Structure 1
Amino acid sequence: MASSESEALITIGGLAQASGLTASALRFYDDCGLLTPARVDPLTGYRYYREAQRERATLIRQLRAIDLPLETIAQILSRDPAVAGQLLDHHVDDLARRAREAAQIAAAVKESLEKSPHVAVSATVLAEALEQVSAAAARTREIPVLAGVLVEAGTNALTLTATDRYRLSTRTLVPRRQHGGTWSLVLDADGLAPISAWLRDVAEIVATPTDHALILTADGAEHRSAVIDEPFPDHRAVLSGLGLVCTRVVVARRSLLELLEKAEATVQLAIDQTGITVLDSSHLPAAVTGSPITLSFDTATLLPAVHTALGPDLMLDIAAADRPVVLRSATDGDLTTLAMPTRPATAAQEKS
């Protein structure tokens, strides 16, 4: 009797080979009660199975292949075919739903990966910013990159900067939408005038950087702005090294602009608590805090800085007579312009 019983049993290795499951998986299914051996040798611990258990082992492998949890597999194997069919149908429906969701997510990720980085901003605001900032770009090509406008896309910010070493203008815009990481390039300022005019006729612009251009897209039209492939000067070091403000002036921008438009090539501003005196010209009332100071400027440097400033009132932050003066709107500080004073002429230079 013992001999016939032994012949009816197969080893765990034999069942593993017959069912496509590994021996370790069969041991696991034994431990969780899903497929219990017919006999376990008390001395060796070897597991033996009946030939009829091969079908159950194969079913477990198939059900695990479609990601059915063990609890549901146990329910399917222990209930009548009608209930088992319902459980399987429910699982397949759930798999189909998850597959659709996965396909949608995969499509969105693929689209995101295939898209180039870009920034969407108000076209009118960008046109205004380009005109304001590009006024500080160099008019000569002695140092080519200084004849450009640096465009930097950061986190929730699009910053434009230009400098000719005597002026520096920078303005930060808040994007409406943004995709991709940070990037920067230098636009050739010579080609910006027609682009600025076009921007004023559209509502929103999408800016996309490439190796050789900044592509501006709106209403199905596309403009390419040439870039200058040179590193831009470290303007942030200039801004961070301005020093403490010793004098602050708030003056009507239009009044100062009118005086500068009539000034000679060099203009001298004497600042005290009463306001600004443009030497050999007239006096402008202004709100002044800090120490009295006298500054000299090339009019060609100071006039564009005042002209492109924002708002009716202009704020001047002054650290010293030989340090850059910071000009910005007294009410809107997102445009900052630096204007470098010149050294006042000495008495000997004036006589010569």
Structure 2
Amino acid sequence: MRSIGEMARDSGLGVSALRFYDRAGVLVPAWVDPVSGYRWYEPEQLEEALLLARLRRAGMPLADIRLMLASWSGADTDLVRKLLKAHLRRLEQGLSDARSEFSTLRVLLDHRENAMTSLRIATVRLSVTAPELAAALDTVRFAASTDPELPMLGGVLFDIEGESLHVVTTDRYRMAVAQVGTAGYDGGRVQVIVPTPLADAMRALLAGVGPVRLSVDGDRVTLEAGDRQAAGQCLDHDFPDYRRLLPQATGHRTVVEVAALRKALQTGPVRSGESGDLSVLRVEDGGTVTLCADGAEDPDRVAVNRAFLLDALTAQARDRLILELGTPTAPIAIRRPDDEGTFSILMPVRLED
């Protein structure tokens, strides 16, 4: 017989997925150890698991998959063919509906472009202290996107409003925000996306302790530090409205010692995921954060990309941080106890199919 680990390896479904399909009555193991609860499968069930994996990749509903598996080995394949045909018809109709909705969205976007452009054509002059801007750039740099398919995320957003500058980056899976106080400008909101190479050049100028000058002239941004400057064109894109993505303060909120949490992440249990190693976190009743070997069946456990969380802890540059964990599908927030306007957000990773 095959162990659940061997079945996961050979079918590509994953251990948590196999557990889920067992509970759903779709692919039930041949035998379950009554003491340990460990699942075992007959060799011929591998064909069913491979078929199940294909059907799930094709987006077939579980109810239809259950009928498919029940009918697959029979002599009469009419039901199998009818289920495949019906699902293909649903997919084609869904694609047609999606094309229609996307066409409508493009029209709406065309109408909004002029209004959005006004945020990027103003002239701004302000000053900010070098250490504050350096710390802000260091805090958000790790979350900048490198995906060429999403050029609007390949930079650092400078969001200026009144005497406040928000520096923001996101690659969709994580987002970092830092707030800096400014002087010399108290006008309306202006946004520019500074390409990451230019942002890095600006950071290199911020070794001093005095004020530096930031200027925005339409699509050009300049940072002056003494007799040195870094200047260049902004990205000609619109950044997502990050304010709509900010998490609500819900769920578990606890203060963590960064050194201890970092050590636990580096030495504790991990799970393999499509995007890398995952750590499964849980906040106990006393506020202690623990790492779990599993967690697909526990509503209080949240899985996150381990490397992303380690990067976020480093970028916050504090010995103690506030960790906010909600449901397994809610974003994870990492905040500073002394500055909650500067924070990182990490998207969780689902553990079950």
- Range of TM-score over shorter length: 0.5 to 0.7
| 2:213 alignment partner in structure 1 | 206
Residues 124-273 of structure 1 correspond to what in structure 2 (within 5 A)?
A: 124-178=131-185, 181-201=188-208, 203-239=210-246, 242-243=247-248, 245-262=250-267, 264=270, 265-273=277-285
Q: Which runs of 5+ in 2 are unaligned?
A: 1-121, 271-276
2:33 corresponds to: none
CA–CA distance in 1 between the matches of 2:182 and 2:194?
Answer: 19
Q: In the alignment, which residue of structure 2 is the partner of 1:285?
A: none
Q: Does 1:305 align with 2:305?
A: no
Deviations for 1:165-218, whole angstroms, at most 9, x for unmatched residues? Answer: 111111111113326543110011233223212212352111101233310012
CA contact (8 A) 2:130 2:210 kept: yes
Q: TM-score, normalised by structure 2?
A: 0.58
Task: Tell me the distance in 2 between the aligned counterparts of 1:327 and 1:315.
Answer: 6
Within 2, Cα distance between the matches of 1:262 and 1:243? 31
Query: Partners of 1:248 and 1:300 in 2: how far apart?
Result: 21
Q: CA deviation at 1:260?
A: 2.8
- Counterpart residue number, 1:337: 344
Distance across 1 between alignment mates of 2:169 and 2:235: 13
Change (3 A) 1:154 1:183: same
Contact 2:212 2:224 in 1 (8 A): yes
**Contact 1:296/1:343 (<8 A) preserved:** yes
Q: Once the two structures are superposed, what CA deviation does each residue of 1:60-79 show, in whole Å capped at 9, x if it has no partner?
A: xxxxxxxxxxxxxxxxxxxx
Whichever of the two has the greater Rg, that structure is 1
Cα distance in 1 between the residues matched to 2:340 and 2:153 = 24
- Secondary structure of 1:201 counterpart: coil
The answer for the alignment partner of 2:128 in structure 1 is 121
Cα distance in 2 between the residues matched to 1:266 and 1:296:
6
> Deviation digits for residues 287-339 of structure 1, max 9, x if unmatched?
xxxx9821111113222111111432111222321011111012221212111
* Contact 1:129-1:171 within 8 A present in 2 as well: yes
8 Å contact from structure 1 (residues 202, 218) kept in 2: no
**Is 2:300–2:326's contact at 8 Å kept on the other side of the alignment?**
no
How far did residue 243 of structure 1 move?
A: 4.3
Give the % identical residues: 24
1:278 paired residue number: 291
Q: In the aligned structure 1, how far is the partner of 2:221 from the partner of 2:263? A: 36
Distance 2:205 2:265 in 1: 31
Between 1:317-326 and 1:150-159, the stretch displaced more is: 317-326
Question: For residues 251 and 244 of structure 1, do their structure 2 counterparts lie closer, same or farther at Cα, with a shift above 3 Å needed?
Answer: closer
Query: How far does the alpha carbon of each residue in 1:93-135 deviate from its partner, in whole angstroms, 9 at most, with x for none?
Result: xxxxxxxxxxxxxxxxxxxxxx952110011110110121121
Question: What is the TM-score of this pair, normalised by structure 1?
Answer: 0.58
Q: 1:292 to 1:310 in 2, by over 3 A?
A: farther
Change (3 A) 1:228 1:169: same
User: In structure 2, do the counterparts of structure 1 residues 244 and 160 end up closer, same or farther at CA, with 3 Å as the change threshold?
Assistant: closer
Q: Which residue does 2:102 correspond to in 1?
A: none
SS of residue paired to 2:339: coil
Q: Give the Cα separation in 2 of the matches to 1:176 and 1:243.
A: 30
Alignment of 1:286-325 (within 5 A): 293-325=300-332
The equivalent residue for 2:89 is none
Q: Kindly provide the amino acid, as one letter, of the partner of residue 256 in structure 1.
A: L
Write the letter of the residue equivalent to 2:291: V
Mapped to 2, the partners of 1:261 and 1:200 lie a distance apart of: 32
Q: Does structure 2 conserve the Cα–Cα contact (< 8 Å) formed by 1:310 and 1:328?
A: no
1-structure distance, mates of 2:342, 2:211: 20
Q: CA RMSD in A?
A: 2.5
